[in-house]
Amino acid sequence: MKIIQNPHEIQKDLITLKKAGKKIGLIPTMGNLHRGHLSLFKLAQTHCDVLVGSIFVNPMQFGANEDLDKYPRTLNDDIKKLESINVDYLFTPTNDIIYPLGTNVNTSIEVNRLTERLCGETRPEHFRGVATVVNILFNILRPDVVVFGKKDYQQYMILNAMVKDLFMPIEIIAGEIIREENGLAMSSRNKFLSIEEKQKAAELRKTILATAAQIESGKRNYGSLQQEAIQRLQNKGFKVDYFEICNALDLEKATDTDSQILIACAAWMGQPRLLDNLEVEL
């Protein structure tokens, strides 16, 4: 695996490969890689000739009171994991490379839909930071195909919208959620859970599945179902950010006529904020 920090150097390599007819795949990450990340790399390998990973902890997507400084940085371990699955390139830029004028001065990207609900309600600047850094990475690395995980379903939808709106010649593929043995969606933040908290955190998935079962049985009072789920999670020790039943296509509140439903939840168990979701076809 070739590890490059200089954007011009890696861009030159990848342009040469594209001119030779090679299809470039990309997995953008913030590092601290786990089995969920590696599943995205393996999926991308089936769709490309040359696979690139990037590791950059993006300050622009963290709020003032969030965990930027505490976010795990495990580059040496990450390199070993990527080498073990034969990733071809790893791009490891610094803050000065990505934001040479600082995050408040550099050009930023706004996606004007899908961003205001769910995570966007309590993290109003988050998706601007995500869209901006991903756009920068796309312009440097010029991938043909990119895989994003469905654990961050809203993020996947927003970045897919950005690609379509800006006519980027990139195929976006969604990777399925990879889970711990107890059903908890894999996340770099799971390591902040104590053993007891990790056991309790399994209730997040159970509550989503229970809500899905009620919807599939014919219940359509979505507001009531949401409140029941929130109460259940609070009783188990969660601090709930949101538990929403949405239209899976636009993330707006679900109606009786919607056939593609997304149950989405964000909740704190102790220190980490956990995300999970489930698509339901009616």
Q: Exposed, middle or buried, 184 (CB in 10 Å: 0-12/13-18/19+)?
A: buried
**Token reading at 72:** 């795990």
Q: Which band of pLDDT confidence, cut at 50, 70 and 90, is reported for residue 66?
A: confident
188-281 CATH pick, 3.30.1300.10, 3.40.50.620, 3.90.650.10, 3.40.630.10: 3.30.1300.10
The C-alpha atoms of residue 120 and residue 115 are separated, in whole angstroms, by 5
> Residues 157, 159, 163, CA angle at the centre, nearest 5°?
115
Predicted pLDDT at 272: 93
Q: How far is CA 113 from CA 116, 132, 187, 261, in A?
A: 7, 15, 26, 18
The string of DSSP codes covering 58-102 is -GGGS-TTS-TTTS---HHHHHHHHHHTT--EEE---HHHH-TT-
Long-range Cβ pairs for the range 197-204 (8 Å, 24+): 197/269, 197/270, 200/236, 200/237, 200/238, 200/269, 201/269, 201/274, 203/232, 203/233, 203/236, 203/238, 204/233, 204/238, 204/265, 204/267, 204/269, 204/274, 204/276
pLDDT tens-place string over residues 85-142: 999 999 999 999 999 999 999 999 999 999 999 999 999 999 999 999 999 999 999 9
pLDDT at 47: 98
Could you give the CA distance from residue 37 to residue 32 in angstroms, rounded to a whole number?
9
Q: Which helix (H) or strand (E) holds 105?
A: none
Q: Where are the chain's structural domains? A: 2-175, 188-281
Could you read off the pLDDT of 161-189 as tens digits, one per residue? 999 999 999 999 999 999 999 999 999 99
pTM, entire model: 0.96
pLDDT at 70: 84
Residue-level length of the chain: 282
Q: Is the pLDDT of residue 67 over 80?
A: no
Instruction: Confirm if 32 and 74 have CB atoms less than 8 A apart.
Output: yes
Token readout for 29 is 């990450």
Domain 2-175, what architecture? 3-Layer(aba) Sandwich (3.40)
Specify whether 126 is catalytic.
no
Report the distance separating Cα 54 and Cα 93, nearest Å: 8
Closest CA to 53 of 103, 1, 111: 1
pLDDT number for residue 69: 87
Q: Which residues contact 36 (CB under 8 A, 6 or more apart)?
A: 149, 151, 177, 178, 185, 186, 187
Residue % of the chain over a pLDDT of 70: 100
Structure tokens at 128: 């601007």
Marked catalytic residue, from 8, 34, 37, 126:
37
State mean pLDDT over 210-231: 97
C-alpha–C-alpha distance, residues 78 and 68, integer Å:
18
